[in-house]
Chain A
Amino acid sequence: MDLSQAYSSMWADIAAALPLVIVSLAGLVVVVFDAYRNRHAATPLITLAALVLAFAVEIPALSADGTAFHGMLRIGGAAAFVNLLILGSGILTVMLAMPYLKRLDMHIGEVYSMVLFATAGMLMLGAANHLVTIFVGLETMSVCLYILTGLVRKNQGAIESALKYFLLGAFSTGFFLYGMALLYGATGTMSLSDMQVAAGSGSVMFWAGVALLLVGFLFKVSAVPFHMWTPDVYQGAPTPLVGFMSTASKAAAFAALITVLVLALPPERWTGVLAVFAVITMVIGNVLALSQSNVKRMLAYSSIAHAGYILVALAAGTPEGYSGALFYLLVYTVMNIGAFGVMSQLEWDDAQGSTQSLDSLAGVGYRRPLLGWTMVFFMFSLAGFPPLAGFLGKWAVFAPAIDADLVWLAITGVLASAVSAYYYLRVLVVFFMKSARDGEPGTAAGEAFVIPTMTRGVLIFCTALLVVLGVTTFAWDLTGTFFG
């Protein structure tokens, strides 16, 4: 390629990928700023401003359709939707994390630069149109998340979970990279748009590459049997950041997986495989969640199960399935950030502390009505009750499977989600139907703690959004326009 030609489209490319540029630059700014003004109060505000700006810039791109940087990134449509999702998740997370980290005395600039860099990686991953951008995005995101997991470095649990995450993550990266190499060997291209043609019906080497690639993706979305890291990481990492990890990184990885499925693979050959992963993920995720007594761990298993629901939609292999998966990711993001937001407020015992066990939360719904009643919405939405968004989300992922004659898969899915109702309701049982006994941890310190205004805002916003997304269909209709 002629270099002058490459430069000729440079400004247009940068303009098209402006949110990514803004977020990356803001990350650098935060690093530099923090070097001169350590722990300055403005650091999180810079972060927030950058994310909001990027969000605003991305909105008009929803109706666009194209690629940038010579086919490395997709612009507009589904990519824009996922980018908005990631940025929105980032904004809410930073708002939740600011007071939380201040209380932990971990109010350091590095956190915010890591969040920004992770966001940049996710934006690249979500919009990737080329194996190389997928890989760069995936690694940028993962490395930042490893660091964020181990943020509270005085806490042994945090260190353990960070190390676990890193080792297993590095392992899955190896699979991913090897898969890429095999795909390149089989097709001679790394561009996803060219791969389908080049692959034909697919050689053995091609399908081996696909299988390895799939392992990498399934690890990142924490599908069973590649889910082992999830509960430990979610339990050890700072709670608001878990909300970020469990939503934005999942959205980015699923978006990349959808791109690979739609663009790169010959149609119809992978449906059965994804259906099998969907079933074991839903069943095992939900069943293991049943026996958890720690709320964060329970939510971790629940997030595994939700990855299973999304896989159901992908297994359908239809445009409705892909758009349903995107819609589900949106709904899932809102409710999960909300749920982790509530839990982050309930950690009032000591620094990182709090056992986060169900027993310690008895009667919390009455002492903290705001946390209690917003949690009602998040739990019922996660369980898929109408008229909340969780129900429309379930509809959006199961209906395509039924339409694609995978009725057995949908039936497994709804039965699994009936199981999930048990453990989501158990949280509410503890919140509202049990009273705290004397001398238990949390009660005294809890009375004194004031919920920050920003946190209140985020929780109420998430609740309202769940209702709005549940009774209107604009977002669902929007996702319907992206495919085919």
Chain B
Amino acid sequence: MVSLVIFLPLVGAVLTMLARSESAIRWSALLVTSATFLLSLGLYFQFDPGVSTQAVPQMAQISDLWFPDSMDIKYFVGIDGLNLLLIMLTTLLGPIVVLSSWTYIGKNHKPYYTLLLVLQTGVTGVFAAFDIFLFYIFFELTLIPMYFIIGIWGGENRVYAAVKFVIYTLVGSLLMLVALIFLGYAAGDAINAGVFTTDWYKLVAFNMPLGTQNWLFLLFALAFAIKVPLFPLHTWLPDAHVQAPTGGSVVLAGVLLKMGTYGLVRFCLPFFPNAAQDYAMLFAVLAVIGIVYGALVSRAQTDAKKLVAYSSVSHLGFVVLGIFAFNVEAMQGAMIQMINHGISTGALFLIVGMLYERRHTREMSDYGGIAKSVPVLTFFMVVSVLASAGLPGLNGFVGEFLILIGSFSSTSLASPWLVVVATTGVILAAVYLLYMVYAMFWGTLDRDENRDMKDLNKRELGLLIPLAVLMVVMGLAPSPFLAKSEPAVKDLLETIETKRLAAEEMASSAQALPLTID
């Protein structure tokens, strides 16, 4: 069933390619993504957090037909606490993105929806893969459709943004490829009878010698840090976001960025626990700089979409901070914050896109007082903004709160001052987001074209309501969602701790050896 959820959009891509008319293309894309979402609901309810995923993921599908003899590379997908919610988020955003593109995309419908569906297959595959070779293929597969989506249907500066996006990501991921191959050989020699392996469970079981861990960790972390994006590697993000069409921005912010943070959790931490702890401080500091810097830059924007784009830098800084705190609260906060950010920032991009469709401008000064002309849209905007700013009772609060508590008490991060600085990010978020609402929706309605703006139609309502409902539900009752990932997070942290101690013991006994000979 996991494979079906991954590849159904790809089948849909073929369908849209064969479709004759414009509406047939759109409807088939909507149908396929909705069907995929319904299927993935099955995953959600079938997943039982009580069953351990320490040895094998739930609903696993394994086939070694791919590389029959020479290498231990498998088609290996499954569900555990770490990826379940992210897969759900991906499938949920699928139909929403299709709906949001309904009238926004003015030319070349066929390739757009085809690429969108290919993209969904890539992203779902990234989250579901338990073989790092397979992961890498899906990871790179997401680049190709995104490149075209930005480059063909984007804004004025689209080519620059598209190429920058691809080159940035590619440099990181190719360096990760080298590290990945090295890791596969090393693990193969040590624990897999000399056969190259990319099986996640085998790689987690393998203790990498300390010195090598460092540079492997850095190569992996670089690839993911670019994707997140972590300050100072974030410069591709505003370009890509601003130029991308709304649908592209939603996918980009909603799930593509999560591939970075997910990669850190899934691969960097358990593969290289010692190095990850050694560099925890560095990453936490960069994350905090990102939080504050992203927030300040957001405040300075005049373009609403750019503002939302920079807010992603700030919000994902929280996620990275939580990941490198190495305790259950912060990690859980990071997991749920990934989902929250996908929902609330996705909604913000959708709304900015809707405004752009009506007025063909994203400059905040071109709006003002439109709460009077589009009250329903304003309502959803305010809900999303408050969720994004972390108002208690809405989803954003849960994640940020857990992350801040967790990092405050973290033993890996030397100083609570980091958290104090990070907390200002929450305040600044309220400042820049409320400023945006103030500038665009309140004030005097002094332009005729703003006065005649149409409010949300049924299609737009349909795609915003589920997101708004989720914001409230996840804010008021986060525990069912947290419960899904909790055992997996605990297992992960336990594995990290055991591996770390084992490696340190090995290193110290290796040092002690010459002494005993004396």
Q: Give the interface of A toward B (CB within 8 A).
A: 366, 380, 385-387, 391, 395, 398-399, 402-403, 407, 410-411, 414-415, 417-418, 421-422, 425-426, 428-429, 432-434, 472-473, 477, 480
Contacts of B41 in A (CB 8 A): none
What is the CA–CA distance of A407 and B148 in the complex, to the nearest angstrom?
A: 33
Instruction: Please name 25 pairs of A and B residues whose Cβ atoms are closer than 8 Å in the assembled complex, sorted by A.
Output: A366-B108, A385-B141, A385-B144, A386-B136, A386-B137, A386-B140, A398-B177, A410-B178, A414-B178, A415-B175, A417-B174, A418-B170, A418-B171, A418-B174, A421-B166, A421-B170, A425-B147, A425-B162, A429-B151, A429-B162, A429-B163, A432-B148, A473-B67, A473-B68, A477-B67
B448 within 8 A of A: no
**Contact A402-B137, Cβ < 8 Å, known A385-B143, A415-B171, A425-B166:** no
A433-B152, A477-B70 in contact; A391/B174 too (CB < 8 A)? no
Known A-B contacts A402-B185, A414-B174, A473-B67; the reply to A422 vs B151 at CB < 8 A is no
How many angstroms from the CA of A36 to the CA of B140 in the assembled complex?
56
- Are B141 and A386 within 8 A (Cβ)? yes
Known: A473-B67, A477-B70. A402 touches B163 (CB 8 A): no
Closest to B108 in A: A366
Q: Known contacts being A387-B141, A411-B178, A477-B68, is A403 close to B136, with CB within 8 Å?
A: no
B144 and A380 contact, CB distance less than 8 A: yes
- B174 proximity list for chain A (CB < 8 A): 414-415, 417-418
Residues of A within 8 A of B143 (CB): 385
Inter-chain contact A391/B181, CB cutoff 8 Å:
no
Instruction: Mark out the residues of chain B between 97 and 118 whose CB falls within 8 Å of any chain A CB in the assembled complex.
Output: 108
Counting CB contacts under 8 A, is B463 at the interface?
Answer: no
| Residues of A close to B170: CB separation below 8 A | 418, 421
The residues in B between 154 and 169 inclusive whose CB is less than 8 angstroms from any CB of A are 158-159, 162-163, 166-167
Output the least CB separation between B184 and chain A (Å).
Answer: 8
Contact A432 B151 (CB under 8 A): yes
Within 8 Å CB of A418, what residues of B? 167, 170-171, 174
Query: How far is the CB of B491 from the nearest CB of chain A, in Å?
Result: 30
CB of B151 within 8 A of CB of A433, answer yes
- A-B contact sample (19 more), CB < 8 A, given A398-B177, A399-B196, A421-B170: A386-B136, A386-B140, A402-B178, A402-B181, A402-B185, A403-B181, A407-B178, A407-B182, A410-B178, A410-B181, A414-B174, A415-B171, A417-B174, A418-B174, A421-B167, A425-B163, A433-B152, A433-B158, A473-B66
Q: A398 near B159 (CB under 8 angstroms)?
A: no
B179 → chain A closest CB, angstroms: 9
Name the distance in Å between A366's Cβ and chain B's nearest Cβ. 8
Q: Beyond A425-B163, A429-B163, A433-B158, is A395–B67 a contact (Cβ under 8 Å)? A: no
Cβ of B518 within 8 Å of any chain A Cβ, yes or no, is no
Q: Which of chain B's residues have a CB closer than 8 A to the CB of A366?
A: 108
How distant is B67 from chain A, measured CB to nearest CB, in Å?
5
Q: Chain B residues near A426 (CB, 8 Å)? A: 163
- Taken residue by residue from 177 to 197, chain B's Cβ proximity to chain A (1 for < 8 Å, 0 otherwise) reads as 110011001000000000010
Main secondary structure of the interface of B (DSSP, over half): helix
What's the Cα separation between A387 and B170 when bound, in Å? 15
Q: How far is the CA of A410 from the CA of B183 in the complex (A)?
A: 14
Q: Kindly state the separation between the CA atoms of A391 and B73 in the bound complex, as whole angstroms.
A: 15
* Complexed CA–CA distance, A480 and B69 (Å): 10
A429 to B159, CA, bound (A): 7
Task: Report how far A429 CA is from B167 CA in the complex, Å.
Answer: 14
Q: Assess whether A398 is in contact with B181, with CB atoms less than 8 Å apart.
A: yes
State in angstroms the CA–CA spacing of A421 and B171 once bound together: 10
B residues sitting closer than 8 Å to A (CB atoms) are 66-70, 108, 136-137, 140-141, 143-144, 147-148, 151-152, 158-159, 162-163, 166-167, 170-171, 174-175, 177-178, 181-182, 185, 196
- CB < 8 Å: which of A385, A402, A433, A477 contacts B162? A433
Q: Is the CB of B152 within 8 A of A432?
A: yes
Which residues of chain A come closer than 8 Å to B162, judged between CB atoms?
Answer: 425, 429, 433
Nearest-Cβ distance from residue A226 to partner chain B, whole angstroms: 27
CA distance A407 to B185 in the complex (A): 12
Contact of B163 with A414 in the complex, beta carbons under 8 Å = no
Q: For the complex, what is the distance from the CA of A20 to the CA of B181, rounded to whole Å? A: 40
Alpha-carbon separation in the docked complex, A472 to B170 (Å) = 23
List residues of chain A with CB within 8 A of the CB of B182. 402, 407
Pick the residue among A391, A417, A421 that contacts B137 (CB under 8 A): A391
CB distance from B298 to the nearest CB of A (A): 29
Closest to B184 in A: A399
Assess A414 versus B175: contact at CB under 8 Å? Given A407-B182, A425-B166, A429-B163.
yes
Closest to A399 in B: B181
Q: Are B140 and A385 in contact (CB under 8 A)?
A: yes
Complex Cα gap A433–B143 (Å): 16
A422 touches B167 (CB 8 A): yes
Residues of B within 8 A of A403 (CB): 181, 185
- Chain A nearest CB from B288 CB (Å) reads 29
| A-B CB proximity, top 5 nearest | A414-B174, A386-B137, A418-B171, A433-B151, A402-B181
Query: Considering the chains assembled together, what is the distance between the CA atoms of A189 and B67 in angstroms?
Result: 42
A420 to chain B, nearest CB (A): 10
Give min CB distance, B113 to chain A, whole Å: 15
State which of B69, B108, B163, B175 has its C-beta within 8 Å of the C-beta of A477.
B69
| Residues of B with C-beta under 8 A to A472 | 66
Bound-state Cα–Cα, A421 to B172, Å: 13
Q: How many whole Å from A370's CB to the nearest CB in chain B? A: 13
In whole angstroms, how far apart are the Cα atoms of A418 and B151 in the complex?
A: 19
| A422 in contact with B69 given A385-B140, A414-B178, A432-B152 (CB within 8 Å) | no
- Chain A contacts for B140, CB-based, 8 A: 385-386, 391
Q: For the complex, give the distance between the alpha carbons of A380 and B144 in Å.
A: 8
Contact A414 B144 (CB under 8 A): no
- Bound complex: CA of A251 vs CA of B371, how far in Å? 68
What is the CA–CA distance of A47 and B32 in the complex, to the nearest angstrom? 49
Minimum distance in angstroms from B120 CB to a CB of chain A: 15
Q: How far is the CB of B153 from chain A (nearest CB, A)?
A: 10
Give A411 to B67 CA distance when docked, in angstroms. Answer: 25
Closest to A388 in B: B144
Chain A nearest CB from B129 CB (Å) reads 12
Min CB distance B329 to A, Å, is 37
For the complex formed, measure the closest distance between the CB of B196 and the CB atoms of chain A, giving whole angstroms: 8
Tell me the complex Cα distance, A64–B99, Å: 59
For A407, list chain B residues within 8 Å (CB): 178, 182
Contacting residues, chain A, for B67 (C-beta < 8 A): 473, 477
Residues of B near A414 (CB, < 8 A) are 174-175, 177-178
Residue of B nearest to A387 (CB): B137
Closest to B110 in A: A369
Which residues from A are CB-within-8-Å of B108?
Answer: 366
Q: Is the CB of B163 within 8 A of A422?
A: yes
Give Cα distance in the complex from A399 to B188, angstroms. Answer: 13
Cα A481 to Cα B166 with chains together (Å):
36
Bound Cα distance from A477 to B67, whole angstroms: 8
CB distance from A434 to the nearest CB of B (A): 8
